[in-house]
Structures are given as structure tokens and as C-alpha cells.
DNA sequence: GGATCTCATGTTTTT
DNA sequence: CATGAGATCC
């Protein structure tokens, strides 16, 4: 009887999912098919009908915001707080577990901090320095990628298997990087997940506690889990096997972050008795929008077919519009928004989406020019602004004096006369005394008898700062975070430091004050809790209601959201699909899914735009309309069909080839001999914008970083192996793998960045 | 030791 | 273009 409330208004498939018999359950949910509803009702069903205590339920969501909303909805259904329910992102849940079990962690105490990507970069740089490696040859962010990929695959430095030179370097950097993090009592995002899994692997007894506790596990956005997350779920479900996974492989857009939608397949294999439920009714979009989306996604190979349908027959046609350049494109968006407002829509009903954050700028300028309200998701994230990060660094250092990265960041910010020399000397002295740099500072300030190499100005600067730091640490446990922050800002003359008389300086101080407000709001939190919250929020989490403001956001950030009106901008080859994904089928498929996600965010209307010319890195180049446009049936769009437009645009590009009045780029524009799919144009005619694809054969010099330097047939010389002929050369990751037939030693496979191969003319 | 200038470089996406 | 790192100047 109670059940009736819970399933009223749900369709059959949804009801089946909500009331499914406990066990492994896989819900494949199309966009707009009410999966959040299913999840919340399922949890309510577990609590209300099956009498499961909330304490025994774990629900994993993709963002904190989703968690909050779900909690709210469950509260509404149950008419009360589901007390004890664990709900949050993988990262926040893991952070909580690690914090609670910190006494079992070998290298960490409970005050460990969470390093964001900027901090990570610092650590990688330090690791490279420690290993005497050139950060030009081994770009830190690439190293970081390698490390992150490994962690997402649950590969520790110890088991990391190097297969070539680059990966051997990565392995060493990874090892050192990890050691540095531990020395800093810091974890990066990936560590939160990996260390939880490792903790459970090493301590069966601890795992058992959690396994027994979490009788029911529910996971949202299951297609975007990585191996480590999947393993964690397997671990936690190890006793009760009640795992309710909701996902849609067509909306998997985080492969680059280690996500693997094949986890859905893996789930089926590892839980052969899993019940599978398809949610195919879309409650969001009109028929036209859904048809367009389906036509787009249909082109991806190897999909699990779903028959999506909607009861919202018909609808407005999809507007596809070519603009001359990105400014005109932005203007097109403005004009459309103004018309829609006249029709009765509010600016808040609309979202403008784009592939890359850089595209938001022109749009923002247009909004400002026209005077329409807007809000940008992401872009320059608040917590990543320098002045805010500096402020956070102070708090982090106070919380965890072992955090050398934060200390490094603010040691001389605001400037206080501690330059590179003093910094080095401090580090050396600290290491010599087996102290963390911050501890060394405090020793310097408090221990008059300390033996040290500093004198005069440097000594004064260092010890002054040391005694301030010492005082803050004492203050830490006595006053709320906001007050502590006030003291720090006051004593460091932070405002003076930011205020350079410009408006920008004002704004920076404003940001710091805004951060201070955040701290004041969390008055019930201690410093550690506050820092954790700050580290784990995402920009979308703070997307609060701004009634009339139009939302600007990336396609990635749009996942899980919906808007009556959606603008999809920059539908050009090289942008969507992005140039970096053009040559790999799986990556191209992911770009298509991204487009699919964008379209399916819309309830009523979709506007798609692309520019004929677009400015990249300062100079303007001709763009070709996205190959995805042609996938939308002509009958669903207004005006020219997309395919025709692509043709037309292509012609114009061709004429541009001979039209000297337009020919701004000369030598920099290359003519590709082989232009992409060739589905819409004869490949030989297409000029390639310079930025899209570096010509792999541009020059065979060592400076060419991206493309292969060697070609089959080239004669080469190797210091040890002598002369030979290149048989094959291919790029593997960022390294070039060259197969050479040597006269003396036969076939060898060499790594170009490692082996010194000279080309013989 | 600190501020300012020049030059190269490019992260696509984010918990 | 816009940002960051390194070089140079004060």
C-alpha cells in the first residue's frame, strides 16, 4: 500500500526498477528518462517498504549537487530526513572513509590535505627536479596524465610496468611524485579513490565493516566510472551483492579521465544474474529533438540499442545557422535569445553550450554588450583564482604544516623579503634537521638557540613569518575559520598586496572577501572539514538559481542538466569533433556522444551554430562545419539542410583558395593531401586551418615534436647498431616507435626519444 | 631581492 | 590572444 505512493506516476519500466528484487540490477537509462526519479524512489522504497535503515544505504552520485538534490527529493518523498544515509561523489565518500580510517594509513595522518591540479603540477615539477629530469623534455602535465591514468587503473608505482623509455620515466616520476605527496601529507583526487581501494585490499577486516554496513549500493552515471571506482564498488558489494547501477553508455564522455563505459559490460559479466531494465521513455524533449539526437548517436558503432520515444509529438524544428565568425555567431545567439524572451521565455530557461572553455569569452562579451544577464559555469573557477588559492594555501598550511607545496606558494606572497636564496637555504636547513620547511620556520622563530645559517635581513624575514605562522597554528583550534582568516589577511597585509589601484585589484580583494564569506557560512565546520569541502566542490555544484540569467557552460558540464532552450555553438570540425580526437575512432565516437548529450539537454528547442571563420590563438582561420551536422536529417532542421550547408561552405572554402582578396594566411596554411572522412568533400580540395592538424611531414628535424620524424625507407644511423633502413614508424602516445632493419643486427624496435637515430641524407 | 619585460606556448573536457 | 616562465633590469 505504501508502495503505491512510491510508484504512482511512474511508467512500467520505472516501477520495475524501483521495486526490483534486491540483487545486482542494471538500469540503462536514456536521456530524460527519469533516472534521478528512479534512484530517489528506489532509495525511498528501500527505506519505507523494505525497512532498510538509511544507515545501510550508500548512494554514489557524479556531483555533490546531484547528491544534495537527491537527498532533498528523498526527504520530500519520505517526509523527513533519511538520517544516516551515505550519499555523495566517489571522491567525497572516499575522503570520508580515509579520514575515518586514517590510523590504518601508513603514510598519512587524519589531517591529510587534498591537492588540486595546480598543486599536483607543482609536485610533478619537484619530482622532475629531484630526478634531474628536464621538464622541457617531459612536460609536467603529460607526466601527470600518465600518473593519473595509472591511478585510475589502480596501478601503483610498484606494479607500474614500463614498456618503453617514456613510460620508464613516467614510472620514476610517479614513484617520486607519490613519495612527495606522502611527505606533504597530501593526496590528489585520484589518490582518494585508489588509497581507499588499497586500504580495503590490505585490511579485510575494515572492508568487512563497510561491506556489512552497506547492504544496498546505488550508483548514478555508471558509464563514467573508471577501473578504480568499479573495483571499489565490487569490494563494497562483496557481501550483500545488492548493487543498483544506473547508466547510459551513449552519455559516456569522460574516457579521458579514465572512465570506461565497458564497465557496464563488465558488470553484466561479473553479475550474470543481474536484472537489466531499460528506461526508454523520454520525458524531456520534443519528438523532433529526440529524433535528431537519435540520428546523431545512431552513427556510433557497437551500441546497445535503445528505442527512445517521447509523447511530446512534433515540436519546433532545429535551427542550424552559419555565422561569418565567432562574433557574429555570438550575435546570432543574442538575437535568438531576445526573440525567445519576446515569446515569453526567460533568459534562465536557456543554456549556451560549447566544446571548450575558451569559447565562452566571445559569448560573454556579447551578453555584456547586449546587457543580458548570464552566468558562466567553470571557466575561471573561483577556487582556482590566484588570490583565492593563495588564501587557501595559508589555511592549508596552518591546518597541515607538512604541506610544503602550500608553503612554497605563499612563503613570499605577499612579498616579505624571502627570495629564492633564502628559500633554498631554508629548504636545505630544514632537510638537514629533518624538519618540514614550515617546522623549520617555526623553530627559527621560537628557538633562540637554534643553530642556523641565516643572518640579517633574511633571518628577520624568515623568523617574522615563522612566528606569525606559529601564532596562527595556536589560534587554529580556538577561533572559527573566518576569524582565523581575518587574522591572517590582516597580519599579512593581504589587501595592500592585492590593491594596486586598478579595478582588477579591487575585484581580487572582492574574491578574497567572497571566500571569507564562504568560510563564515560554514561556521559549524572546523578547519579540516572546511578545507575538504573546498577541495571537493565543483563549479556545477554551486550553480544556484539565478532566475533570469542564461547559463553558459561546456558540453561536459551540461551532463545531467536540462533546459527548455539549448544553444550548441561552434559546430565545426576541429572544435566538435575536437581536433585532438579526429584520428581515433573511439575518441571521435566520444565527441559524437558529447554532441548527443548537448542535444538531449533541450526540452523545447535547439539552436545549432557554427562560424565560417574562427579565431584561434590570435589569428583567424576558415572552419569547416562539423561532420556531425550532416547526421541530422534535413527534415528536422529549418533552412538549408546541414549537408547542403557543409557543401556550400566547402565551396566557399574552395573559392577562397583562389580568391586573393581573402588570402591572409599564406605559407602557414597547408593543403592537406588527405582530409578526414571525405564523406562530404573531395579530400584533395580542403584547406586545413593551420591549427587543426600539424603536418606530420612538415620537416624531419628534431624540433618537430608532435608528428613522427621517421618514415619508412629512410636511411638512418644508430650509434651502436650502425646503419639501417626504417621499416615502420608510428606514434605511440607521445613517443615515436621506429622499426629499423639494421645491416648488422637485423630488426630493432626503437623509441625515437630514447635512441639517437640520425637520418642519413 | 624584487619588479618588469620578452618570449614561447597552447589543457578539450574535471572530480 | 593570454598566460607563464625565464631573462633582464633596477
* Three-state SS sequence of A548-559: CCEEEEEHHHHC
Task: Assess contact for A56 and A81: CB atoms under 8 A.
Answer: no
Give the CA A584 to C1' B12 distance in Å: 15
Q: What's the angle, vertex CA A65, arms to CA A60 and CA A67, rounded to 5? A: 30
What is the β-pairing status of strands A735-742 and A722-732?
Answer: antiparallel
State how far Cα A386 lies from the chain centre.
Answer: 19
Task: Kindly report the number of other CB atoms within 10 A of residue A677's CB atom.
Answer: 12
Cis preceding linkage at A354, omega within 30: no
- Any bridge partners for residue A309, and if so which? A281
**What tens digit of pLDDT does each residue of A385-400 get?**
788 888 989 999 999 9
State how far Cα A468 lies from the chain centre.
Answer: 37
Mean pLDDT, chain A, integer: 83
Name the nucleotide nearest A377; use CA and C1': B14
Strand B proximity: list residues 426-455 of A with CB under 7 Å: none
Q: How confident is the model at residue A151 (pLDDT cuts 50, 70, 90)?
A: very high
Catalytic residue among A119, A190, A220, A248: A220
Of all protein residues, which has its CA closest to the C1' atom of B3?
A415
Give the CA A648 to C1' B7 distance in Å: 41
Q: What's the angle, vertex CA A376, arms to CA A579 and CA A117, rounded to 5? A: 65
Mean pLDDT of A221-230: 94
How many whole angstroms separate alpha carbon A634 and alpha carbon A645? 11
Q: What pLDDT score does A643 carry? A: 54
Task: Kindly report the number of other CB atoms within 10 A of residue A681's CB atom.
Answer: 19
Q: What pLDDT score does A674 carry? A: 29
Return the axis-axis angle of helices A481-491 and A386-399, rounded to nearest 10°.
110
Q: What's the angle, vertex CA A132, arms to CA A127 and CA A133, rounded to 5? A: 80
Catalytic residue among A101, A188, A190, A221: A221
Name the nucleotide nearest A61; use CA and C1': B15
Which strand B nucleotides have any atom less than 7 A from protein CB atoms? 1-3, 9-15
The answer to whether A635 CB is within 7 Å of strand B is no
Residue A114 Cα distances to A334, A407, A531, angstroms: 41, 15, 8
Q: What pLDDT score does A708 carry? A: 61
State how far Cα A513 lies from the chain centre.
Answer: 27
Q: Clarify whether A601 is annotated catalytic.
A: yes
Closest CA to A278 of A250, A255, A247: A247
Say if residue A254's pLDDT is above 80.
yes
Q: Clarify whether A36 is annotated catalytic.
A: yes
Say if residue A461's pLDDT is above 90.
no
Of residues A471 and A736, more confidence is placed in A471
How many whole angstroms separate alpha carbon A323 and alpha carbon A519? 45
The answer to whether A421 CB is within 7 Å of strand C is no
**What tens digit of pLDDT does each residue of A5-23 get?**
788 889 999 999 999 999 9
Least confident of A185-194, A247-256, A359-368: A359-368
Which strand C nucleotides have any atom less than 7 A from protein CB atoms? 1-2
Q: What pLDDT score does A740 carry? A: 67
How many whole angstroms separate alpha carbon A85 and alpha carbon A47? 10
Backbone φ, ψ for residue A257 (5° rounding): -105, 15
Say if residue A570's pLDDT is above 90.
yes
Of all protein residues, which has its CA closest to the C1' atom of C2?
A617
Q: What pLDDT score does A505 carry? A: 77
How many whole angstroms separate alpha carbon A133 and alpha carbon A135? 6
Of all protein residues, which has its CA closest to the C1' atom of B13?
A556
How many whole angstroms separate alpha carbon A472 and alpha carbon A462? 15
Say if residue A481's pLDDT is above 80.
yes
Strand B proximity: list residues 334-363 of A with CB under 7 Å: 355-358
How many whole angstroms separate alpha carbon A637 and alpha carbon A402? 59
The answer to whether A136 CB is within 7 Å of strand C is no
**What tens digit of pLDDT does each residue of A653-708 get?**
544 433 333 332 322 222 222 222 222 222 222 222 222 222 222 223 333 334 56
Say if residue A491's pLDDT is above 80.
yes
Name the nucleotide nearest A554; use CA and C1': B13
Helix (H, G, I), strand (E, B) or coil at A283: coil
Least confident of A73-87, A252-266, A462-476, A648-662: A648-662
Strand B proximity: list residues 652-691 of A with CB under 7 Å: none
Give the CA A418 to C1' B1 distance in Å: 8
Catalytic residue among A63, A176, A223, A251: A251
Helix (H, G, I), strand (E, B) or coil at A732: strand
Of residues A41 and A166, more confidence is placed in A41
Least confident of A356-365, A457-466, A735-744: A735-744
End-to-end CA distance of chain A: 85
Q: What pLDDT score does A563 carry? A: 95
Q: What pLDDT score does A733 carry? A: 46
Residues 6+ apart with CB under 8 A from A706: A694, A696
Q: What pLDDT score does A362 carry? A: 87
Give the CA A339 to C1' B15 distance in Å: 37
Q: What pLDDT score does A512 carry? A: 87
pLDDT > 70: percent of chain A:
84
**What tens digit of pLDDT does each residue of A329-361 get?**
999 999 999 999 999 999 999 999 999 988 888
**What tens digit of pLDDT does each residue of A497-532 get?**
887 777 777 778 888 888 888 888 888 899 999 998
- In this structure, what C-alpha cell is assigned to residue A727? 621499416
Q: What's the angle, vertex CA A699, arms to CA A695 and CA A703, rounded to 5? A: 100
Of residues A756 and A356, more confidence is placed in A356
Say if residue A364's pLDDT is above 90.
no
- In this structure, what C-alpha cell is assigned to residue A689? 586551418
Q: Clarify whether A514 is annotated catalytic.
A: no
Contacts 24+ apart (CB under 8 A), A405-413: A405/A115, A405/A119, A405/A122, A405/A123, A405/A184, A405/A186, A406/A113, A406/A119, A407/A437, A407/A438, A407/A441, A408/A122, A408/A437, A409/A122, A411/A465, A413/A497
Task: Assess contact for A319 and A607: CB atoms under 8 A.
Answer: yes
DSSP states of A673-709: SS-TT-SSS-GGGPEEPTTT---TTS--STT--SS-S
Least confident of A528-542, A568-582, A587-601: A528-542
- In this structure, what C-alpha cell is assigned to residue A136? 622541457
Closest CA to A93 of A240, A232, A263: A232
Q: What pLDDT score does A117 carry? A: 82
Give the CA A423 to C1' C9 distance in Å: 22
Cis preceding linkage at A441, omega within 30: no
Q: Clarify whether A221 is annotated catalytic.
A: yes
pLDDT > 90: percent of chain A:
47
Of all protein residues, which has its CA closest to the C1' atom of C1?
A618
How many whole angstroms separate alpha carbon A270 and alpha carbon A274? 9
Residue A588 burial (C-beta neighbours within 10 Å; 0-12, 13-18, 19+): buried
A201-234 burial, b if ≥16 CB within 10 A, otherwise e?
Answer: eeeeeebeebbebbbbbbbbbbbbbbbbbbbbbb
Q: How confident is the model at residue A379 (pLDDT cuts 50, 70, 90)?
A: low
Residues shown for chain A: 761
Of residues A716 and A707, more confidence is placed in A716
Q: How confident is the model at residue A731 (pLDDT cuts 50, 70, 90)?
A: low
Strand B proximity: list residues 465-504 of A with CB under 7 Å: none
Task: Assess contact for A598 and A638: CB atoms under 8 A.
Answer: no
Q: What pLDDT score does A137 carry? A: 78
How many whole angstroms separate alpha carbon A321 and alpha carbon A569? 10
Say if residue A322's pLDDT is above 80.
yes
Amino acid at each position: 500500500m505504501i508502495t503505491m505512493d512510491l510508484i504512482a506516476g511512474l511508467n512500467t519500466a520505472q516501477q520495475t526498477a524501483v521495486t526490483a528484487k534486491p540483487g545486482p540490477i542494471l538500469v540503462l537509462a536514456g536521456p530524460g528518462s527519469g533516472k534521478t526519479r528512479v534512484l530517489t524512489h528506489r532509495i525511498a522504497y528501500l527505506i519505507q517498504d523494505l525497512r532498510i535503515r538509511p544507515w545501510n544505504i550508500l548512494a554514489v552520485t557524479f556531483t555533490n549537487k546531484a547528491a544534495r538534490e537527491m537527498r532533498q527529493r528523498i526527504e520530500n518523498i519520505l517526509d523527513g530526513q533519511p538520517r544516516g544515509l551515505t550519499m555523495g561523489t566517489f571522491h567525497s565518500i572516499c575522503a570520508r572513509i580515509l579520514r575515518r580510517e586514517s590510523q590504518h594509513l601508513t603514510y598519512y595522518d587524519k589531517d591529510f590535505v587534498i591537492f588540486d591540479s595546480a598543486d599536483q603540477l607543482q609536485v610533478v615539477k619537484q619530482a622532475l627536479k629531484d630526478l634531474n629530469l628536464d621538464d622541457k623534455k617531459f612536460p609536467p602535465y603529460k607526466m601527470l596524465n600518465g600518473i593519473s591514468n595509472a591511478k585510475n587503473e589502480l596501478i601503483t608505482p610498484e606494479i607500474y610496468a614500463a614498456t618503453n623509455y617514456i613510460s620508464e620515466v613516467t614510472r620514476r616520476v610517479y614513484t617520486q611524485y607519490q613519495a612527495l605527496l606522502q611527505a606533504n601529507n597530501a593526496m590528489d583526487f585520484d589518490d582518494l579513490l585508489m588509497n581507499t581501494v588499497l586500504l580495503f585490499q590490505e585490511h579485510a577486516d575494515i572492508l568487512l565493516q563497510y561491506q556489512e554496513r552497506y547492504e544496498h549500493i546505488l550508483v548514478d552515471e555508471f558509464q563514467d566510472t573508471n577501473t578504480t571506482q568499479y573495483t571499489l564498488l565490487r569490494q563494497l558489494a562483496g557481501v550483500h551483492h545488492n548493487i543498483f547501477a544506473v547508466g547510459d553508455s551513449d552519455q559516456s564522455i569522460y574516457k579521458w579521465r579514465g572512465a570506461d563505459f565497458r564497465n557496464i559490460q563488465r558488470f553484466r559479466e561479473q553479475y550474470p544474474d543481474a536484472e537489466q531494465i531499460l528506461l526508454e521513455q523520454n520525458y524531456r524533449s520534443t519528438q523532433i529533438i529526440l529524433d535528431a539526437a537519435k540520428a546523431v548517436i545512431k552513427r556510433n558503432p557497437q551500441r546497445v540499442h535503445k528505442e527512445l520515444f517521447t509523447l511530446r509529438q512534433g515540436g519546433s524544428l532545429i535551427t542550424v545557422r552559419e555565422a561569418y565568425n565567432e562574433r557574429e555567431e555570438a550575435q546570432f545567439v543574442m538575437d535568438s535569445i531576445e526573440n525567445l524572451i519576446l515569446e515569453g521565455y526567460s533568459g534562465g530557461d536557456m543554456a549556451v553550450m560549447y566544446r571548450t572553455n575558451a569559447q565562452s569569452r566571445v559569448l560573454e562579451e556579447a551578453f555584456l554588450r547586449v546587457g543580458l544577464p548570464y552566468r558562466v559555469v567553470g571557466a575561471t573557477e573561483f577556487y582556482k583564482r590566484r588570490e583565492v588559492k593563495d588564501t587557501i594555501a595559508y589555511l592549508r598550511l596552518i591546518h597541515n604544516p607538512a604541506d610544503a607545496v602550500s608553503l612554497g606558494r605563499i612563503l613570499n606572497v605577499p612579498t616579505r623579503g624571502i627570495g629564492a636564496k633564502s628559500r633554498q637555504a631554508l629548504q636545505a636547513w630544514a632537510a638537514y634537521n629533518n624538519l618540514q620547511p614550515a617546522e623549520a620556520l617555526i623553530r627559527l622563530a621560537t628557538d633562540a638557540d637554534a643553530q642556523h645559517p641565516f643572518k640579517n635581513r633574511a633571518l628577520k624575514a624568515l623568523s617574522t613569518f615563522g612566528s606569525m605562522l606559529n601564532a596562527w597554528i595556536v589560534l587554529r583550534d580556538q577561533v572559527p575559520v573566518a576569524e582565523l582568516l581575518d587574522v591572517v589577511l590582516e597580519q599579512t597585509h593581504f589587501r595592500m598586496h592585492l590593491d594596486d589601484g586598478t579595478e582588477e585589484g579591487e575585484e581580487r580583494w572582492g574574491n578574497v572577501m567572497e571566500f571569507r564569506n564562504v568560510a563564515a557560512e560554514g561556521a559549524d565546520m572546523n578547519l579540516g572539514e572546511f578545507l575538504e569541502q573546498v577541495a571537493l566542490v565543483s563549479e556545477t555544484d554551486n550553480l544556484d538559481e539565478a532566475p533570469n540569467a542564461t547559463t553558459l557552460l561546456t558540453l561536459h558540464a551540461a551532463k545531467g542538466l536540462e533546459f527548455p532552450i539549448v544553444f550548441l555553438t561552434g559546430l565545426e570540425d576541429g572544435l566538435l569533433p575536437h581536433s585532438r580526437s579526429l584520428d581515433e575512432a573511439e575518441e571521435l565516437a566520444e565527441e559524437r556522444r558529447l554532441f548527443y548529450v548537448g542535444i538531449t539537454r533541450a526540452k523545447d528547442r535547439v539552436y545549432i551554430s557554427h562560424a565560417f571563420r574562427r579565431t584561434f590563438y590570435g589569428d583567424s582561420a576558415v572552419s569547416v562545419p562539423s561532420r556531425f551536422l550532416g547526421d541530422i536529417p534535413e527534415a528536422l532542421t529549418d533552412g538549408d539542410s546541414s549537408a547542403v550547408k557543409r557543401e556550400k561552405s566547402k565551396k566557399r572554402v574552395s573559392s577562397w583558395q583562389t580568391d586573393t582578396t581573402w588570402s591572409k594566411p599564406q605559407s602557414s596554411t597547408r593543403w592537406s593531401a588527405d582530409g578526414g572522412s571525405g564523406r562530404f568533400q573531395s579530400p584533395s580540395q580542403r584547406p586545413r586551418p593551420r591549427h587543426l592538424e600539424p603536418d606530420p611531414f612538415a620537416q624531419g628535424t628534431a624540433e618537430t615534436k608532435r608528428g613522427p620524424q621517421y618514415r619508412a625507407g629512410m636511411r638512418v644511423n644508430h650509434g651502436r647498431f650502425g646503419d639501417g633502413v626504417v621499416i615502420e614508424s608510428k606514434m605511440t602516445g607521445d613517443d615515436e616507435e621506429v622499426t629499423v632493419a639494421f645491416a648488422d643486427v637485423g630488426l630493432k624496435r626503437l623509441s625515437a626519444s630514447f635512441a639517437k637515430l640520425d637520418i642519413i641524407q
